[in-house]
Amino acid sequence: MKKSNYILDEQLLGVPHSLFNGSNGYESQEFLLFISSLENVELKGLNNKGHRYFKQILDENLSGEQFYKNVIHPEDYPFFLHFLKSCEDLSPGEENETTVRVKSPFGYWKQFLFKNRLYSGMVKGDEKFVLSMARALDPYQKNFRKSSGANLETEKSLEESLNRYRVLVNSLDEGFCIIEIIFDLQKNPFDQLFVEINPAFIKHVRIPAPLGKTMKELSPNHGTHWFTTYANILATGEAVRFEEYAHDLQTWLDVYAFPIGTSKNRKVAILCTDITQRKQAEEDLKKMNEILEYKVRKRTKELKENSDLLQMVFDTVNQGIFLLKPYFGDNLDIVDFTYVRVNKRVKRYYKEEQMVGRRFLELNPQATRTGAFEIFKQTMLTGESKDFEVCFKRKGKSNWFRITTRRQKGFLINSLENITRKKQRTQTLKDSMRFKKQLIKTSPDIILIFNLYEEKVRFMNRGFMFNPKLSQDKVEGMPLMDILPLIHPQDREKAMQFHSQLLKASDKEIMDIEFRLKGPDHSWNYFNARGKVFMRNKKGNVYEYIILLRNVQEQKKTQQALINAEKLSIKGEIARTLAHELRNPLASIDISADILNKKIEGPARKKVSNYVKIIKRSTNTLNNLVTNLLTSSNYSPSVLKKCCLARTTNLALAQAKDRIYLTGIKVIRNFKGPYYINADKEKLKIALLNIIVNASEAMTPNEGILTIDIENLDKAFRLSISDNGCGMKPEEIDRLFESFYTNKVGGMGVGLSSVKNILDEHRALIEVKSEPNKGTTFILTFPAFESEQAKN
């Protein structure tokens, strides 16, 4: 039977300078090692453990890019990719870490802690690589049962033998290390990782700080045949001894390499000796000892200086500060801490005067459950500072503390801050924010926040129900200028003024506006908007304001119905009055005109016949007006059709020709046409006739000039009707379209009110310019027929 070359796993217990500072030898250092490309997250290499762990997956001939997608949990995979990509920003020697779930050979998911750093042992153009070491967070640990009887003496003897072995390895002059071979996906070796070393190893191989690094990182020109030799040892299980010159190290080495561990977790252990400069090595060792002694003396001095400085800090700081030193158990593990120094604030927290010399867990029995003790322990072992929050309960009250801990000269320096009130305020703020969010979600109003820096809608609580196209997703992020076309053309100037007012408003002012928004069927819905300043910059300028929108279309319909009912009632009353007061005089005038025409004979009859005809036409017009007023209670909305504005204006002028003739007015027409608009021709003719008649009445007979212009604007036509009459004062212009308002003797104030209603139905803008004793101009702007068709 062939003699085994293995050393028992238990024989390495206690070997110092291990990769993970484990006290249970290399078996506690089992890990998976990956080397990946940062360019496309392609797997390039694995250690022996990794090849065995993922044997089934690798046998599927997956490419390196598909590997991680198959072994990383799907929920963790996107985060893991982002985590690997973030390694590009790491500095040399810097590490980052995370925890992900990895598929085990048996198909279940297991938590692994990944530590990453940039890997410089592989050069391929500008491509970067990362080395990842993953350790299971719940590694299997062997539990040895205590023996009884005769076996107790055997176990005791074995323990003594192991202790002697620890001393032997630590005292060896030869360099000792354990390495992990790194293979590519085809199981070809291309590097090695130093997992464990003894103090003499660095001296012999002359590589500074090799622990945890790969040979290619430390010496890029190291020959690949070294890795092949060690890989053969793993494959055959046979030890090898050889002497060889390491060109990159410029050193001759006497190497004895042998497999170690089980076949599943096999590594290579190496004993090596520098046979080139033995004497020089001994001299270097002597100098090293002197340096170490100097460092010990220097450190002792520094500890004393730091102790004095720490005492001074203790006496002046407002935070609680306490020093702990580790308390080790029989197995050299940290089982507790002892208070070395405590300032007054910590004593007040604990209400204890004597704390120095007492155990940490004695005063803090909850520390194990809350995790504080474990954090202190890890900080002491790794030297990595921690900042954490913990809750301690005393006498039924919960107190929150923020603790910062760091290792310094073999002690833990800890600062303690009571943050209970901050926690309570934070919770209150969270509850308030939760309430406000629910309030926003359930509000009947649409809430918008406009950001003026980005000129976009930053927030919207919900979409417009009346228009599915204006959903929350589409409106949020919409540029402000894209919102303006959604507002009715007649309301856009008002909306811009509303915007300007908000920019000038104080924080307490609330601005109101009512405007129309476009619906999906090209209809217009009325909205009420209330605006308020939301955020200002450091200079005090508004850069965000909030708008609350409420759909008031139904209220508008109700209001318009009431107004229409009131108008109908007024018109009915006027009609009855006119029917009673006008028809009898009109009948008398009509009859008198007929009699007059018959009585006058000869040449005089020809002279007055034209005037008689005017009287007859006028009485007929007035009779028709009375009839229309009597039927106005059956009011119907305007029916808009394609209509020529120039032709309708000419019809209105033709109907007023008698009035124009009798008053001797000169008419100037500056239009030809056609100018097509959407209009109810009869109603529009009545409105224009009212304006022309009012203009003729305002001018001095035989001196009046009536000027009518039509201009072709962009998608609109502007009709101007100007006179050189008596004009109006500003206060008269403001009340011009009010019902029953008039400054004419015997007038009823109904004509221009009806004109306003008709023009509103035609979506026409009305502007009146007038100066006393100079004249008046009515400016009417109608949307062009093509523009209206585009909207529909």
Burial (CB count <10 Å: 0-12, 13-18, 19+), residue 500:
exposed
Q: What is the pLDDT of residues 401-450, one digit of tens each?
A: 889 999 988 899 888 888 888 877 877 767 666 666 666 666 678 888 88
Q: One fold for both 31-136 and 443-551?
A: yes
Is the separation of the CB atoms in 544 and 499 below 8 Å?
A: no
When comparing pLDDT for 290 and 787, which is higher?
A: 290
∠ CA 359-363-369, rounded to 5°: 100
pLDDT at position 704 is 92
The top-level CATH class assigned to 31-136 is: alpha beta
Tokens 């809608």 correspond to 457
Distance of CA 217 to the CA centre of its chain: 41
Question: Does the structure show a pLDDT above 50 at 16?
Answer: no
Distance CA 711, CA 720 (A): 8
For residues 502-526, give the mean pLDDT. Answer: 84
CATH architecture of 641-791: 2-Layer Sandwich (3.30)
Helix or strand (DSSP H, E) at 547: strand 542-551
Count the neighbouring beta carbons within 10 Å of the beta carbon of residue 465.
9
CA neighbor of 186 nearest in space, from 40, 68, 64: 64
Query: What SS3 state is found at 25?
Result: coil
Choice among 244-248, 264-268, 303-307, 361-365 with the minimum mean pLDDT: 303-307
Question: How does pLDDT run across 766-785, given as a tens digit for each residue?
Answer: 999 999 989 999 999 999 98
Q: Angle between the 681-698 and 751-761 helix axes, to the nearest 10 degrees? A: 140
pLDDT score of 587:
58
Joined together, the tokens standing for residue 304 give 């004393």
CATH code 3.40.50 for 558-634: no
Enumerate the domain spans of the chain.
31-136, 145-276, 317-422, 443-551, 558-634, 641-791
Give residue 2's pLDDT. Answer: 42
For residues 598 and 373, the model is more confident at 373
CA Rg value for the chain: 49
pTM over 0.85: no
Which helix (H) or strand (E) segment holds residue 311: the answer is helix 278-316
End-to-end CA distance of the chain: 99
Q: Give tens-digit pLDDT for 698-742.
A: 898 889 999 999 999 888 999 999 999 988 888 888 778 775 555
Q: Please name the residue that has the structure tokens 């934070």.
A: 426
Q: What are the start-end ranges of the E strands in 617-762?
A: 641-644, 666-670, 676-679, 705-713, 716-723
Express each pLDDT in 141-197 by its tens digit.
444 444 445 567 777 777 777 677 667 777 788 899 999 999 998 899 999 999 888
pLDDT for 27 = 44
Residue type, 523: S
Q: How many CB atoms lie within 10 A of CB 21?
A: 11
Kindly state the average pLDDT of the residues 732-756: 65
Rounded to an integer, what distance in angstroms lies between the CA atom of residue 728 and that of residue 736? 10
Q: How far apart are CA 622 and CA 582, in angstroms?
A: 8
Q: So what's the pLDDT on residue 45?
A: 93
Which tokens belong to 638? 């305007």
Q: What pLDDT is recorded for position 583?
A: 55
Could you say which architecture CATH assigns to the domain 317-422?
Answer: 2-Layer Sandwich (3.30)
Taking the C-alpha atoms of residue 739 and residue 513, their distance in angstroms, rounded to an integer, is: 25
Residue 25: band (very low, low, confident or very high) from pLDDT cuts 50, 70, 90:
very low
pLDDT mean across residues, the chain? 81
Q: In terms of residues, how long is the chain?
A: 792
Handedness of CA 64, 65, 66, 70 (dihedral sign): positive
Q: How many CB atoms lie within 10 A of CB 712?
A: 12
The CATH H-level (homologous superfamily) assignment of domain 145-276 is PAS domain (3.30.450.20)
* C-beta atoms surrounding 187 within 10 Å: 12
Q: Are 204 and 274 in contact (CB under 8 A)?
A: yes
Please, which residues bridge with residue 103 across strands?
109
Read off the tokens for 321.
């500060």
Q: Kindly tell me if the per-residue pLDDT of 347 is higher than 90.
A: no
CATH number of this structure's domain 443-551: 3.30.450.20
Is it the case that residue 372 has pLDDT exceeding 60?
Answer: yes
Q: Where are the beta strands (DSSP E) in 137-274?
A: 175-183, 189-197, 240-246, 251-260, 267-274
Q: Is the dihedral of CA 51, 56, 60, 63 positive or negative?
A: negative
**CA 89 to centroid of chain Cα atoms:** 24
Distance CA 525, CA 162 (A): 90
Give the dihedral sign, CA 478/481/482/483: positive
